Amino acid sequence: MSVFDRDPDDQIQVLDADGELVGDLPDLSDSELVALYRHMRLARHFDERAVNLQRQGRMGTYPPLAGQEAAQVGSAMALDDGDWIAPSYREHAAVHVHGLSLSDILLYWMGHGAGGWDTDANVLPAAVPIATQIPHTTGLALASKLRGEDSESPRQTGNAGDAVACAYFGDGATSEGDFHEGLNMAGVFDVPAVFVCNNNGWAISVPRERQTASPTLAGKAAAYGIDGVQVDGMDPLATYAVTRAAVEKARTPGDRSRPTLIEAVQYRFGAHTTADDPTVYRDEAEVEAWRRRDPIPRLERFLRETGRLDDDRIDDIEASIRTQVTEAIDRAEDTPRPNPDRMFADVYAEQSAELRAQQAYLHRLRDRHGDDAFLKE
């Protein structure tokens, strides 16, 4: 039975909370399965270090992801290189899997504009207003469909016309107009898009029950005439399998609508951002209950019991991700503050006379007073 022929509340699971195989193992090689595990471990460690950097004043406000590793890594691994991601501001793991470097991700949260744009990865910048990336995804997918497979690759995409576009957003985003407008158009135009809702039950302090009276978020897909699937978002094999099925359906026009809304039911262990204190509105017992479904030990148990991982390999992975994250932090922190001229670059393809004048004015001020006169630290 296709993953799409299910009720919206019939949650897909491949591994149960104890790491027992309860569904069909997706078509992943042993090394891909280990890579999935490694990416999740990396994301968890990166996240811990990032929160610490913020606490130490070495980084600005940061939105943690711990708890979402399975949904982000599993889904991103189901995309092909030429596919697109339109992330919210929390998909550090998904965009890293899709090609953004860890140091570029850190630099963005350290207040540099750089944020990964020297790569070839098809990843839009983080969307900070809620749900705005959803219509972008529809547009990317519509462009992909209009281009067709045999058209010339556009400069900025590096891929021809069969790319799939994948949006990530939270449960709060499903209340926004852009969610409705984007999914509605995706259905009308039958575009190759996948919409992944990381439903962690909370939009900052407002619970999912106050976002919508719909019994499930996956069920909202019916309103747009597209498939909606609910998956255990803390099961990496299930999120991979569902996303892969959605990507393949998107790429291959057929009887079914090409877009899919995936509701990945999960829990984010930490705060909304480092500026948020969830103890004000969230019960610690709730967090502990969800910790028992933590995706990382769950996959680890499965991989150990099936002989794909052992202590030595896990130690190797642990050591390598620590080195990788430390190196990324060093690289980010060693990156000098951008030249103020950066502010005036890339506002337009060709700088206006007025903008040139304003840039020259800042030059004169810096010459006169020195950069120290401008900087708080």
Partner 1 sequence: MSTETQNLTLVQAVRDGLRTEMQRDEDVIVLGEDVGKNGGVFRATEGLYEEFGDDRVIDTPLAESGIVGTSIGMAAYGLRPVPEIQFMGFIYPAFDQIVSHAARLRTRTRGRFTCPMVIRAPYGGGIRAPEHHSESKEAFFVHEPGLKVVIPSTPADTKGLLASAIRDPDPVIFLEPKLIYRAFREDVPTGDHTVPLGEAAVRREGSDVSVYTWGAMTRPTMEAADNLAAEGVDCEVIDLRTLSPLDRETIVDSFEKTGRAAVVHEAPRTGGLGGEITAILQEEALLYQEAPIERITGFDTPVPLYALEDYYLPSPTRIEDGIREVVDFP
Q: Does 257 bind partner 1 (CB under 8 A)?
A: no
Interatomic CA distance for residues 93 and 362, integer angstroms: 38
202 close to 282: Cβ distance less than 8 angstroms: yes
The mark string for 166-205 relative to partner 1 (x by CB under 8 A, - otherwise) is -----------xx-xxx-xx--xx----------------
Kindly give the pairing relationship between strand 193-199 and strand 260-265.
parallel
- Binding test (CB under 8 A) with partner 1, winner from 68, 72, 144, 216: 144
Q: Does 312 bind partner 1 (CB under 8 A)?
A: no
Tell the smallest beta-carbon distance from residue 260 to partner 1 (Å). Answer: 17
Tell the smallest beta-carbon distance from residue 101 to partner 1 (Å). Answer: 14
- Residue 344 tokens read as 């005036």
62 close to 274: Cβ distance less than 8 angstroms: yes
Q: Is 268 a catalytic residue?
A: yes
Interior CA angle at 334 toward 54 and 316, to 5°?
75
Q: Does 361 bind partner 1 (CB under 8 A)?
A: no
Footprint (CB under 8 A) of partner 1, residues 328-357:
345-350, 352-354
> What is the edge-to-edge ordering of all strands in the sheet holding 260-265?
84-86, 165-170, 193-199, 260-265, 227-232
Helices (H) and strands (E) in the chain — how many of each?
A: 11, 7
Helix (H) or strand (E) holding 146: helix 133-147
Tell the smallest beta-carbon distance from residue 135 to partner 1 (Å). Answer: 3
Q: At what angle do helices 30-55 and 311-334 cross, to 10 degrees?
A: 40
Tell the smallest beta-carbon distance from residue 232 to partner 1 (Å). Answer: 29
Q: Is 281 a catalytic residue?
A: yes
Q: Does 111 bind partner 1 (CB under 8 A)?
A: no
- Binding test (CB under 8 A) with partner 1, winner from 42, 79, 165, 166: 165
Q: Is 272 a catalytic residue?
A: yes
Binding site for partner 1 (CB under 8 A): 84, 86, 113-115, 117-118, 124-125, 127-129, 132, 134-144, 146-147, 154-157, 163, 165, 177-178, 180-182, 184-185, 188-189, 345-350, 352-354
